[in-house]
Structure 1
Amino acid sequence: MSTATELRLTQQWLALEHEAIWVLALVGARFPALEEAAQDALPAHETTRDRLADAVTDLGGTPVATQPSYDVTDPRDASAARALVRDVEARIAAACVRLVGPTSDRARDRAVRGLRAAALAQVRWGADPEPFPGLD
């Protein structure tokens, strides 16, 4: 994989981490029953975001910035809020799978850890376990 491709895919994952942080803040603020779970999930996403921003810089890029808001379905209840979090976690898993291919060992290790974290998060938020997460 070329450095340019690795940079592009890392930027995509970084953008999803920004979105996950935004979604978790939304879910935690709007649904008291989910506040603790959302707060517990935030630090891992913030750490991943920071590490991905460093990786983008190391690859010669400028890290993609967070957006003021994201085009997500407004969750009307806790079930819809859980589905919203599962969706962003599924998209993170898919982004990680794209990075697992022929890339640097460091990027591959990071992507495998990210895939595992996203798959486990999907289950924590109510998804059924998948044999091969991120391969939809």
Structure 2
Amino acid sequence: MSAETQLRLTERWLALEHEAIWVLGLVGARFPDLAGAARKDLAAHRTTRDRLGGVVESLGGRPAGPRPSYAVTDPRDAAAARALVQDVESRIAATCVRLVAVTEDKARDRAVRGLRTAALGQVRWGAEPEPFPGLD
């Protein structure tokens, strides 16, 4: 396992958590019927973001903050909003799968939990369950 690879992937995961928070804020603000679910998931992503910031630091990195905005397609309806959340959850799952492959012990456990959470998030937002989430 390369510490550099673990750091790079953890930084990627952190960046995706920032994006998920931004996307969920957007979805919750524009679609009142989705606001409750967005708020719930937003709280979970904030907790994960905060924990990952500490992990990045412990690996010798410097946690990046959120971007002012993200290049996402403006959701025109609830279905498009759900797809937007599913997409970021899918990318989080894919990053966690890569982390599972290059880590061990506590780091692997964290990545497996992240993968599970992202996969369940995809399903909660309307995606079909996948037999092996996070794999392309």
Instruction: Normalising by structure 1, report the TM-score.
Output: 0.98
Matched, 1:41 2:41: yes
Write the letter of the residue equivalent to 2:120.
Answer: L
Q: Separation in 2 of the partners of 1:103 and 1:117? A: 18
Q: Which residue of 1 aligns with 2:126?
A: 126
Structure 2 residue matching 1:101: 3-state secondary structure = helix
CA shift digits 1:25-67 (9 cap, x unpaired): 0000000110001001111101110111000000011002110
Identity %: 74
Q: Structure 2: which 5+ runs fail to align? A: none
Q: Which residue of 1 aligns with 2:110?
A: 110
Q: Separation in 1 of the partners of 2:8 and 2:107? A: 12
| Corresponding residue pairs, total | 136
Structure 2 residue matching 1:62: 3-state secondary structure = coil
Q: Separation in 2 of the partners of 1:67 and 1:102? A: 27
Instruction: Normalising by structure 2, report the TM-score.
Output: 0.98
Contact 2:19 2:66 in 1 (8 A): yes
Shift of 1:102: 3.2
Superposition pairs of residues 1-136 of structure 1, within 5 angstroms: 1-136=1-136
Write the letter of the residue equivalent to 1:75.
Answer: P
Shift of 1:14: 0.3
Shift of 1:130: 0.4
Write the letter of the residue equivalent to 1:49.
Answer: R
Q: Structure 1: which 5+ runs fail to align? A: none
CA shift digits 1:62-117 (9 cap, x unpaired): 00211000000100000000000000000000000000013131110100000000
Runs of 4+ with deviation above 6 angstroms? none
Q: Separation in 1 of the partners of 2:38 and 2:109? A: 26
